Amino acid sequence: SKSVAPLFVGGALLSGIAAPAALLFSGKETRGKSILSSLLVLTGGLAFRFALIKAGRISADDPEAYFTFASGESAPQPEDKV
């Protein structure tokens, strides 16, 4: 969903993964960098959790989306092999 994407990309991916990695691989490791990197990882994990919960709530508010996905050509058929 477009409303969850900024939280996921900005919070989880950039703040939780990219920024801490860039900090740790940039020059000498200091105590401040290590603490900041740890805080960014925790913040990214929290953002990921909120994004997942928000996306789940949006999905639950639209049950028609499930039925659209599960019907027609995309629905599994008895002759399908797993």
How is residue 41 written in tokens? 């990882």
In the prediction, which pLDDT does 74 show?
67
Q: Which has more confidence, 11 or 63?
A: 11
The percent of residues above 90 in pLDDT, for the chain, comes to: 62
How confident is the model over 8-44, as pLDDT tens digits?
999 999 999 999 999 999 989 899 999 999 999 999 9
Question: pTM for this structure?
Answer: 0.74
DSSP class of 76: -
* Contact status, residue 71 vs residue 17, Cβ threshold 8 Å: no
Give residue limits of the domains in the chain.
Answer: 5-71
